[in-house]
Amino acid sequence: MTTSNLERKIRHFHDEPMRPGDPRIRPKGTLLIIGGHEDKENEKVILRALADRVGAGKLVVAPLASESPNEMWETYETVMRGLGVRHVHHLQIESREDGSSLRAMRTLEDATAVFFTGGDQMRITSMIGDTPAFSRIFEIFVNGGIIAGTSAGASVLSETMMVSGDSEESHRIKGELRLAPGLGLARDMVIDQHFAERGRINRLLGVVGQNPRILGIGIDENTAIELQPNASRFRVLGEGGVTVVNGASVTNTNIAEEDPDRTMSIVGVTLHVLSQGDRFDLRTRTPHLGSARDLEAELEMGDRNDAAADD
């Protein structure tokens, strides 16, 4: 695309931003949401799955959340190229102004996948929220592309994101639970990462207690969910677990009645723990056990297909 065409696209996105939640838009893409600390040295199951889905396409690494974006970029560039992704590019956005830049739009041109790395999720939303760069990222997702995120880059993908909260004790009614608007690609859920490793079940229960309509998704390290919003389902891959907190069955809480410093009560909440190969239907909120070995075989088959294509 020529510079003049990119400039027209920037003006178009300023005038008519693409926004999640628009009822006229039904995204065809896939979200790969990673709980952090994914394996980059051994089997690399999760990053291998990302590489398999990118294939011959263009992957844009977006280390916006990091205070050391160049170092983060270099790490993932090396890993992804080692997994056979030939077209890996760095989205350099250091200020909100950069979200409207020709450089950002040129990087995102023809991209089929975008990967948000870890750090501080508020850096991502504050720098690209409702910018032309975000509209382009959403456009990639709408058109069938892959949006991936790890750690902070995972939390930011939900409609409402977890920013902070005490995970060491039972949730207090007015406890230190801080939420903020996320990018909105994963609807009707809150995603928490480093889940089992940092004992974050209490704060996720706190979110669901405040609004049982929201599904709580806690993802362990080196674990991910592959979410297809158009199909309303996800499946699990990686070595850890995914905890699903479903508040639809809640019969009572004390949030509206008790003093703010009291411990929250929540009755009837449904909890599932899923592992690699398991699936979850978001429409019916029903888990389905699957086979970890079948998923491993699928990834191995993808490796063989890629090798054959290179010959």
CA distance 229 to 36: 21
- Map residue 261 onto helix, strand or coil: coil
Task: Please pick, among 43, 94, 97, 169, the residue that the annotation labels catalytic.
Answer: 169
> Catalytic annotation on 151?
yes
Residue 246 has pLDDT above 60, yes or no: yes
> Catalytic annotation on 194?
yes
CA distance 161 to 180: 5
Read off the DSSP letter of residue 196: T
The answer to whether 47 and 239 have CB atoms below 8 angstroms apart is no
**Which domains can be identified in the chain, with CATH numbers?**
3-310 (3.40.50.880)
CA distance 151 to 33: 8
CA distance 215 to 246: 5
Task: Please pick, among 139, 194, 221, 226, the residue that the annotation labels catalytic.
Answer: 194
What dihedral angle (degrees, nearest 10) is formed by the CA atoms of 215, 121, 227, 274?
A: -60
The overall average pLDDT reported for the chain is: 91
pLDDT, tens only, 93-130: 999 999 999 999 999 999 999 999 999 999 999 999 99
pLDDT, tens only, 160-190: 998 875 656 667 656 667 789 999 999 999 9
Start-to-end Cα distance in the chain: 31
Q: Which band of pLDDT confidence, cut at 50, 70 and 90, is reported for residue 229?
A: confident
Residue 310 has pLDDT above 70, yes or no: no
Identify the pLDDT of residue 254: 83
Identify the pLDDT of residue 306: 54
Task: Please pick, among 151, 155, 158, 167, the residue that the annotation labels catalytic.
Answer: 151
pTM above 0.85, yes or no: yes
